[in-house]
Amino acid sequence: MKNRNIKIKSIFFVLAATSLSFGCSKINDINRSPNNPPIELATAQVLFPSGVMSTAGQVGGELDIIGGIWSQYWTQSPIANQFKTIDSYNLQRQDFNGGYNELFAGALADYQLAITKAKDAKLYNFYLMSTVMKAYTYEVLVDLYDQVPYTEAFQGAAKLNPKFDDGFTIYKGLIAEINAALATDYKGAPFVGNDAKADFLFGGNMDNWRQFANTLKLKMYLRMVNTHAADAEAGIRALYAANADFLTIDAGVNLFIDATDQRNPIYAYTVFNLGGNDLRASKTLSSWLIENNDPRAVVYFGTANPISVDQGNYTAPQSAQPTYYSATAPAFKATDPVYFLTAAESHFLQAEAGARYGVTAAGTAFNAGVKAAFDQYDLTAPATAAYTYPNGTLQANLKAIIYQKWASFPNSHALEGFFDQQRTGYPELSTVYSLDANYIPGQWVYSKNGVTGGRLPKRLVFPDSERSRNSSTPAEVPITTPVWWGQPNK
């Protein structure tokens, strides 16, 4: 970061500098200029929005594509090649260097320095904001890579090969950091002048930041249920005992316009930069939407009856599967927001906490989640069983919650659908491929061109850029190995 230019001519500078393409080099390091001071001299008010746009550029761009394909919302078009390595689970070290590097050297470095600057200046509002976004960004990396540098990160020359910490240690550290920031007088540090405009999420509303912090903690505790059940339950019960409040609005960036370097990142890559969208509706999602007469199909795909491709079947010849060649692309728009955590997800997290531990009325939270998911698009949910809380066994309740979460994430923050399935097993893995007459809409299938022996991907491999720079990088494991919170391999 030491040579990174901090002269920001618009709020979209970081997005423009973010690598939104696969395998392309990141335009990040440039020569210092006396007119453009080094990043170390920046203020929290500059560093924070820079970090936010860096996170948005990756979570809403490159990682959104991976998440959307691996969550079986979309699949590779048979008339293109762009995303075959993702759809076949054939990722290599050289893939996605940009995302890993940008989240570390861009977003996290910005947040960490902003935290230091904010504490020194007693700007506890920026301290909390930067801490929450640091925790969110770290969580994405840990959930994708299992281990990343944390306790020895961002020490410059003092630690050129920082150790990789295990995911549980990082989660505990992040929660402690959030708690420390929440314990400050963050509401007593008023925004000066235009400082509130640097908050792209909530415009300086610190109550919303507290709710975001609490909701993120709830999500992190629920991630622990498979491997650290006692910690998960204790953490969640402590949140409710303290009367923690949670998000009732979306947390994300909604500033994109259809102009150069200012477009939604997944739209900019898949539609604008490529001159066409190489993604197509996956039968896994589209069949579930059609089966349930879900009006969000029009939002996600521009039609109530999207023509789909069976997941990963992009090599099928037109003579065998003619409809594949007129399949429907996702309906991305240049102005779409990038979401970090939606109101619907917040309610579904609360519903799961209620279902598991009885800390809140699970059915009420579920209904609020369904409503919020449809309110997001000014729609009304169908009054059918799939959208009704079953009030049954834990697994029946959990299945209903996770299916509704999964159906809320396309064109929103697709990576979360992938994470939830690896944690809960919902949607279930089908015993037949989706071309089979016995296929159940919504169940996941193994990609027709998968190279991992019938096992779904669980993680990303560390990129060459990290392995070549940091001798502490752990030994490589297959992408079918679960991360620390995941269910055993299936």
First-last CA distance in the chain: 40
One DSSP character per residue, 256-306 reads: --SSTT-S-HHHIIIIIITSS--EEEBHHHHHHHHHTT-THHHHHHSSSS-
Q: Read off the amino acid at residue 226.
A: N
Please, are residues 65 and 266 in contact by the beta-carbon 8 Å criterion? yes
Residue 345's SS3 state is: helix
CATH number at residue 252: 1.25.40.390
Position 3 scores a pLDDT of 34
Distance CA 248, CA 83 (A): 35
- Is 428 domain-assigned? yes
Cis peptide before 317 (omega within 30 of 0): no
SS (HEC) of 361-416: CHHHHHHHHHHHHHHCCCCCCCCCHHHCCCCCCHHHHHHHHHHHHHHHCCCCCCHH
Residue 357 domain flag: yes
Q: Which amino acid does the sequence have at 456?
A: L
Q: Percent helix, strand and coil across the chain, each rounded to 5?
A: 50, 5, 45
Close Cβ partners of 475 (under 8 Å, ≥ 6 residues apart): none
Domain-embedded: residue 265: no
Answer yes or no: is 321 within a domain.
Answer: no
Number of domains in the chain: 1
Tell me the mean pLDDT per 10 residues along the chain, length 490: 34 38 32 52 93 96 95 97 95 76 94 97 97 98 96 90 96 98 95 94 97 98 97 98 98 96 94 88 98 98 98 97 97 97 98 98 98 97 97 98 98 92 97 98 98 96 88 93 85
Cβ atoms within 10 Å of 203's Cβ, excluding its own: 11
- Give the pLDDT score at 412: 76
pLDDT on residue 36: 53
pLDDT at 38 (0 to 100) = 66
Identify whether 296 is part of a domain: no
Residue 270 placed within a domain: no
pLDDT of residue 27: 28
The predicted structure's pLDDT at residue 487: 84
Query: CA geometry: angle at 324 spanning 323 and 328, to 5°?
Result: 95
Q: What is the pTM of this model?
A: 0.92
CA distance 170 to 164: 10
Q: For residue 62, which amino acid is it?
A: E
CA distance 400 to 51: 35
Q: Which amino acid is at 384?
A: T
Q: Is 155 exposed, middle or buried (CB count within 10 Å of its CB: 0-12, 13-18, 19+)?
A: exposed
H-type helices in 121-166, by residue range?
A: 124-145
Residue 463 in domain: yes
pLDDT reported for residue 489: 62
Range of the domain at 81: 13-259+335-434+441-469
**Is there a domain that residue 307 lies in?**
no
* Contacts of residue 250, Cβ cutoff 8 Å, sequence gap at least 6: 337, 339, 341, 342, 343, 376
8 Å CB contact between 430 and 439: yes
**Contact between 443 and 95 (Cβ < 8 Å):** no
Contact status, residue 445 vs residue 72, Cβ threshold 8 Å: yes
Q: Three-state DSSP class for 284?
A: helix
SS3 of residue 443 by DSSP? coil
Residues 4 and 207: their CA atoms lie apart, in Å, by: 33
